[in-house]
Structure 1
Amino acid sequence: MMSIEIYTTRTCPFCIRAKQLLDSKGVAYKDIDVGAEPSLRDAMTRRAKGKRTVPQIFVGSTHVGGCDDLYALERAGKLDPLLKGAA
């Protein structure tokens, strides 16, 4: 299983939806709350190649993007293979 990191804020509805999808898959992920720590948001922005919105989701070294991107992978049948490290 690939390591999963999701940069979030506590009140972001898109963050909540993305975590719900990951929870439904039964995968563990590291939730990095950038709301209270500007240095974490700066690190996220660098890692996400300039994107500042949350969530920003990473599966291993793959930058998935945001909530809509995560759900698009699910609809296309590509999320499960990615989560299993097969993508």
Structure 2
Amino acid sequence: MSNEIYFNHPTFGLLYRVCVLDDNQELFTTLYAQRLFFIVTTTPQNTSLEPISRSDGRLLVEKRLRNLRRLGTPQDYKDFYDMYKQSFP
């Protein structure tokens, strides 16, 4: 079973989920270039897509990583850190 989640954007094509940032926020990037990042915020009323830079995406992931180190389990931190190293080499 795969945990990969994709989103089809009319302009940028297929996006894939990098990670969950918060309860209702996820970070997506373009499938091939991985230069454009998007914050997808989901509420019961709608879903919004906000483009952000790669450096802003990296900062958001690093913030989540710090929170997991303080509050999460060691395995959650390790899994998230592995994703971080793969997404932002």
TM-score band w.r.t. shorter chain: under 0.3
Larger Rg: 2
- Superposition TM-score, scaled by structure 2 size: 0.25
Where is the strand percentage greater, Structure 1 or Structure 2? 2
Structure with bigger RCO (C-alpha 8 Å, 6+ apart)? 1
- Superposition TM-score, scaled by structure 1 size: 0.26
Where is the helix percentage greater, Structure 1 or Structure 2? 1
